[in-house]
Structure 1
Amino acid sequence: MATFTLHKETVQPWLPLKRAYIIFQSICVLFLFYYRISNLFISYPWILMTLAESIISFMWIFKQSFRWRPVNRSVMTEKLPPDEKLPGLDIFVCTIDPEKEPTVDVMNTVISAIAMDYPSNKLSIYLSDDGGSPITLFGIKEAFEFAKVWVPFCKKYDVKSRCPKFFFSALGEDEQLLRSREFEEKRDHVKVFIYLLLLSKVSPINKSIL
């Protein structure tokens, strides 16, 4: 029975060089242990050095399993099933303390999940607030209103970076290059009149209650 995969795996071309380097390092580690065993100077500094070298050597050995066969994987989008055959997807976003997990960041996570490129009728987003904070309740209401505008905007202009905080930051500027005038006007409208409004509502409440 043939195995069905959605990605293509290619071994990196410098695999022989990578393995030769690992083998060389392994020989060096063996020589280090040989030196320690053949020169037993039982003293406090010797014990500390041997212990430190042993810990570092074992840490290095355990990491080599990931480096022994480095591969590149590329998604084969042509093999993806049609939307009607995709399985239902449940996404849980968990939070507990608005002080350690700012409400704005939590809402950005929720909005990013809502805006995923996935059939909306098969996508369910759950926000679990173990702390029962009123800030989170208010934030999710505002995030829902923002998502009504943000999701259609992302789908219409095929936005890849669907986290508003990232998209409107300097890190998201590359995706906004060589766009139409209509896109720029709509982007500015969403940012100034909707996203910044969301921040102005949620952030002050977050600070005042805390």
Structure 2
Amino acid sequence: MPSPFSLGTSPKLPVMPATQYIPEQGKYGLRNKEGPLNNDHLCPDTDVTRPVVLFVYQPIEGLIQRHRDLHWSLGWEVSNKGFRLIHIQTHNDVRDPQPIPRYVYWGAQTKTAGNATRMAQKFLIGNLSLQQRQQIESIAQTVEWNCQNWIDVLLRKLVEHGVITSAAWAEAMAGARGAYRDRLAD
């Protein structure tokens, strides 16, 4: 799996202002609203309880300087060593209308685990049933925000809906906010 960032041909990802929100979870105006390929058919999410984790991806040398720039996602391992990931991605296709780049939520996607996912710090959200994981995917479709804030809002909604506990939210958020503190500025 490539890096959780879609960098296109640009060697550096410009910092986007936190106030730059685009309707349809970033898909508004895009030529292709389907998004990246999804491996659901190869790695289905089966009806067993699975640990759901908050991933905090490692800083990318020369690209990520501040703690707030780290990429976060929610996910869980599914069959055939695939991972079901829920996260905002950076879309950087110059053929699409401005703003370029932009944050986009393509929906939950199943991918094989690459180095970025294997090396990410992981914080347990809970051991959740298939029904609870599907509820996460459904609630994620209602969140409009950017990366870390988007995950935080999603997790808060999961607490409100009784999918996870507030203690699990607090513990995961505390760990994620402290991830890589020794290597990055606030």
Q: TM-score range by the shorter chain?
A: 0.3 to 0.5
More strand per residue: 2
Q: Which has the higher helix share?
A: 1
Length-normalised TM-score, structure 1: 0.31
**Bigger relative contact order (CA 8 A; separation at least 6):** 2
Larger radius of gyration: 1
